[in-house]
Amino acid sequence: MVACSRRPVSVTGSRVRAAKGQGGLLRNQLLDIADQLLEAGGADALTIRAVATSAGVSPPSVYLHFASKRELVHATCLRVWSSLFAELEAVSRKIPDPVTALYETCVAYIAFGLRHPSQYRLVMVGEATEASRQNEDACFRYFRDKVIACVDAGVPVTSSTETARVLCAGVHGAVSLLIHQERDVWPPDSGRYVRRAASSAVHGALLTASHTFRPSMADVTQSG
């Protein structure tokens, strides 16, 4: 794993103090600051003290909302990840072809991971274990539902669960390959990379869903 770079973090702007009874507002403001810290400097930059300093409050005020740094990290990651499924549905809802809808879903998933590398690392491969369990399960069930839609449309799939696992491995790998490296080694055309990785994941998972075979030169040189 290549360590991500750490830059000095500066979160500007003064906080408007929440009125009595508006603790939820303060909590959201703290999460806004935590998200900025995480994006700018990674998990090391996201501390209770750093959030308190940026918010203009004392650390005990932050502890009223988050019992520990881990709880703060969980909440920050989960808030970002909650937007993922809305994005996935938005891109696939109006596409009648379930395979194309699955492809667009994979494109959106990979693009999301590349836009939020810090949160993705923490949730999928890092210390945010509670967030990890929730999101890994939700992502798997979401992709399995999309595979089942393909089955209902006539795609030959022996096991929707196994196929969903293969599909998840493909899109997760596409994200992980890049977010554990410095950005200067990312493909120059990240959009093309995302689309090709999504296409590879969908084709690989569905074409081998009813049987497995050993690829050969004949398979890749044949033209339609």
Q: How confident is the model at residue 26 (pLDDT cuts 50, 70, 90)?
A: confident
Please calculate the CA angle 195-125-80 and round it to the nearest 5 degrees. 70
Please calculate the CA angle 27-32-37 and round it to the nearest 5 degrees. 120
Instruction: Read off the pTM.
Output: 0.79
pLDDT of residue 12: 42
Averaged pLDDT, 207-211: 89
Cα dihedral across residues 74, 45, 35, 104: positive or negative: negative
- The span from the CA of 140 to the CA of 154, in Å, is 21
Catalogue all structural domains in the chain, each as residue range(s) with its CATH number.
22-67 (1.10.10.60), 76-212 (1.10.357.10)
Averaged pLDDT, 8-22: 44
Burial track 198-215 (b if 16+ CB lie within 10 A, e otherwise): beebbeebbebbeeeeee
Considering only residues 128 and 196, tell me which one the structure prediction assigns the higher pLDDT: 196
- Token couple for 50: 């750093």
The percentage of residues in the chain with a pLDDT greater than 70, rounded to a whole number, is 85
Averaged pLDDT, 113-137: 78
